Structure 1
């Protein structure tokens, strides 16, 4: 694993002025290992610290440990309830201990988790709070909250507003030598570019150039992960690639990726978009004349397309299922899903406008 931040933390541990300070840095190091997906290393460190301080807990160290545990949970499965609970505890303890730097970092991570849940009201509050709490040179908090802001603007369809915040994310991440944040920037941009390419293809004339650019971004993200040794959420990248190949009409290339990686990706946090992924898998099978399996996948997609799914995934699912059923000669089902898709895309546009309003207000 190549990480300038890791080397800096190791040096700081060796030169720490007190045992407690060194142990807080060890817990911070465990946070970094978790973000790179090296969970066994992180857990080993945390277990040792918990045993060492079992009789005489230290609140600041406990907050760092709770943050690290939350990051292990998050990078093991996106959006897990355990991650939210652990990081919220770290936020509360760091506030009680009057540790403003750690408090700001925890607040930034809570904003990130709010984004993952699409709780944009809470996220906007956390954005404003983090920017108020974080010192100008607090690169970790600023890189994380800048990424949250950037991807939220990107999600809202305003990439021109996202760009300067992506640049700030890169600036702060580079200043700290934090390759994990730079990897997250590339990955999150790739997913959002894919979502926009998907909408262009499914609800409009389609933009081949945008899809090609999204595929290049996905490949760059995967290559950077390999370069810096990031192992977290490794099943998501091939599923991202499968979607883009499918959008390009390369169904024979997309299908093996879905077959090999989809089930694992669903356990790593992609379950919230199982509706869309199953529908797209069905479309690939239709194109390759695997009609019985396509019908099963389409039915699974319908069952997963619940009202609590993200609006853009619901819209994309209906759009894709309309195509699947039309190709299989089921015109009534195709018409129903086409109408539902139109309504869902309109609702998504309304959601984007509301998200934009909330974020703009938080940044005033």
Structure 2
């Protein structure tokens, strides 16, 4: 199913007579394909745009090319260069004094910084975006609303999260951006899974709560299938694994984890990969393959895990603790507990700080 937004952009590219106008539509189309994982298509347009406008003859096109290159680096490999490239685009947008470009690049900076836990700069980017956003720019409205929905949900402020998610969904539906709706359904599901697993560390969740999270993950998977979006598949399957871990469905989890780990879509040294590996070990240990489980858990590299966010670290070390309990690694249990407690304390401090930063946007009063 071709997204209505893609259909419109393809028509605009075909009909455009002005080279600059055509290039802007091409860049917007390529950015969409970068978001959906259609990297070959996006790269082809990037090369064409570079060939025609690589000399910087048009500031707007140059900035849009930089946005495209940042999104390719981000969605293809979560490269650190993505933030640098988008930051440069944002700087040039400010210099150009173009409100539409300032709001666009600020929205993406907020998105990237939220996922990097750079919350101070995220809040600044949100403020910049909302102060410059044109009233009729549904794409930017959708992006910044989605970031705010995610940030409020991560902070546990459900009412404000729902308000911004509803705004994001309305904006995405209006412009026919199926990829944004897919991202929204995935983000909500993944954040709910992570939140449930964090709560489960201290207090076992009732089965009814886990069922609600399970339904949300399945709804996100169903939407991706209906809209024929593949770019989030490995992330959705990771969220599915999180639900199966909560339900202790080890036989079901094992093949799913193995398939995701064997794919080439997860960067090395990513928190997602390490969590899947330790969940694989927990599944193996729970099914009686303790020797392989011990081999995996004892090979965990603290120096790598310490670079992850506090919530990811807490989940990784909690699975390690459960493996240690099943496999009789009594000499390591106190260490795992220490790492969990340290990560949880840090996570609570981060959430408290984030709640303060988000306060100006809590009721949408920044609009």
Q: TM-score, normalised by structure 1?
A: 0.93
Aligned residue in 2 for 1:76: 76
Query: Counterpart of 2:36?
Result: 36
The alignment status of 1:146 with 2:153, answered yes or no, reads no
- Give yes or no for contact 1:239–1:262 (8 Å, CA) kept in 2: no
**Matched residues in 1 for 2:345 and 2:170: separation?**
36
Distance 2:53 2:264 in 1: 37
More off after superposition, 328-337 vs 176-185: 328-337
Which one is further off, 303-312 or 191-200?
303-312
Report the CA distance between 1:241 and its aligned residue: 1.2
Aligned-partner Cα distance in 1 for 2:216–2:277: 23
Contact 2:266 2:273 in 1 (8 A): no
Contact 2:24 2:61 in 1 (8 A): yes
Alpha-carbon distance, 1:215 to partner? 2.1
> Is 1:67 equivalent to 2:70 in the alignment?
no
In 1, Cα distance between equivalents of 2:249 and 2:7: 43
**What is aligned with 2:343?**
344
The gaps in structure 2 that reach 5 residues or longer are none
- C-alpha distance in structure 1 between counterparts of 2:345 and 2:290, whole Å: 31
1:261 equivalent to 2:255? Answer no
Residue in 2 that maps onto 1:133: 132
Map of 1:178 onto structure 2: 177
| RMSD, aligned α-carbons | 2.1
User: Matched residue pairs, number?
Assistant: 363
Shift of 1:10: 2.3
What is the Cα deviation at residue 66 of structure 1?
A: 1.3
**Residues 319 and 53 (structure 1), Cα distance of their counterparts in 2 relative to 1, 3 Å cut:** closer
Task: Say which SS state the counterpart of residue 270 (structure 2) adopts.
Answer: helix
Please report how far the alpha carbon of residue 275 of structure 1 lies from its aligned counterpart in structure 2 after TM superposition.
3.9
Q: Does 1:49 align with 2:43?
A: no
Do the aligned partners of residues 225 and 270 (structure 1) sit closer, same or farther apart at CA in structure 2, a change above 3 Å counting? farther
Partner residue in 1 for 2:58: 58
SS at match of 2:44: helix
Partner residue, 2:289: 290
SS at match of 2:300: helix
Q: Distance in 2 between matches of 1:87 and 1:32?
A: 16
Could you list the per-position Cα deviations for residues 161-206 of structure 1 after superposition, in whole angstroms to 9, with x for gaps in the alignment?
2110110110111111111110110111111011011122222122
Deviation string for 1:93-122 (max 9, x for gaps)? 333333321221111000000011000011
Distance 1:90 1:56, change over 3 A: closer
The 1:15/1:97 distance shift into structure 2, 3 A limit, reads: farther
